[in-house]
Amino acid sequence: MSYSVNPSVFKSIFAVPTDIIDKHIRLVNGDQLKVLLWILRNSTDNPDIAEMSKALKMNASDVADYLQYWVLTGILTEDGNQSVPVITQVETPKETKPEIKIPEPISVAPSKPSSKEIIERIEESPEIGHLFNEAQQLLGKTIGYDGQCTLLLLHDHYGLPTEVLFMMIDYCVSIGKSNYAYLEAVGKDWGTREIDTLDKAAEQISILKNANSLWKEFALNAGITNPRPTVKQTEYLRRWSSEWKFGINMIILAYEEMANHTSKLSMAYIDKILMNWHEKGFKKPEDIEKASEEQNSKVKPVQKTGNGNEASYDLDKFKEESLYGELKYERKKKQ
């Protein structure tokens, strides 16, 4: 089948530089292209961000971010007072580098790459462009600067391959946690624990699903309304169930023990209780009961007075204080 352009559409035309098609069409996403076409069609001088975002049904900050892409590639220029608006967070640092450096040590938070560095990574590695495009499909939304930074951070700094990132994103979307902050938190955890293969990712997702199931039962007993655990709470649940092999009954028992000492939920407190039980080899509530009975049997027996009645005080302590305690003179007060 052949195609031809309807001659009637040439009644009104505008110019599109060939570089856009030759050099950028495979790198940019649809929204980035829409922004540029809108400018070429309407005005390249001091474009109205509010008008553009309304016409294209995009967030104004995303529109400004997409404009910055075209500025950095040289398609658009910034001249005097007619500069293209730039979001502060995507300004190019004074000292740019040809590639993203992994900071040392890993505990030090890496800096965000500039828009220019992101473009350079896309150009030097088609895999990055594929990562961004596939992530957009999984998330169901266009990825702006923040999303690109997050994915590039997890890929380049924390060493997560694209296929592992796809599995991670798909899981996060499935539980309704697709914001970039949550993706970054989960990705950092995976990267730190070297979950960098498909098998490891599948195993981790299985563990996370188990943690979510445990959380529902735990939250129900603890009166917690949050439908899902945080990343930190998930880590606790993972350790309790996967590493220490505790079931929900032991976790609830530890929660009740915590509640006897503090009115505020403390996962760290519960963690210490379960760690103590794990080290002692306790695996089920019956183990706790048995240990408690043995402890009670070692308690000093109740002392009795000479007439066989139970003493309301410690006789040994009383004798010791009577023999060795300091004598004090106190004058009896008159009535």
Residue 267: per-residue pLDDT: 92
Q: Are 184 and 147 in contact (CB under 8 A)?
A: no
Give the domain ranges of the chain: 13-87, 115-196, 200-296
What backbone phi and psi angles, to 5 degrees, belong to 74?
Answer: 90, 0
What would the two tokens of residue 145 be? 């600067």
Residue 309: per-residue pLDDT: 55
Residue 157: per-residue pLDDT: 92
Q: How many CA atoms lie within 13 A of 28 on its CB side?
A: 23
Note the pLDDT tens digit of each residue in 224-241: 888 888 888 888 999 999
Residue 273: per-residue pLDDT: 94
Using the structure block, give the residue that is written with the tokens 């001088």.
45
Burial class (CB in 10 A: 0-12, 13-18, 19+), 217: middle
Q: Taking CA 286 as the corner, what is the angle to CA 285 and CA 287, rounded to the nearest 5 degrees? A: 90
Positions of the chain with pLDDT lower than 50, given as ranges: 80-97, 100-107, 311-329
Q: Which fold has domain 13-87?
A: Arc Repressor Mutant, subunit A (1.10.10)
Using the structure block, give the residue that is written with the tokens 């539980």.
175
Note the pLDDT tens digit of each residue in 301-322: 555 555 555 544 444 443 444 3
Beta bridge partners of 304: 310
Distances (CA, A) of 44 to 15, 72, 81, 177: 12, 15, 13, 38
Indicate yes or no: pTM above 0.75. Answer: no
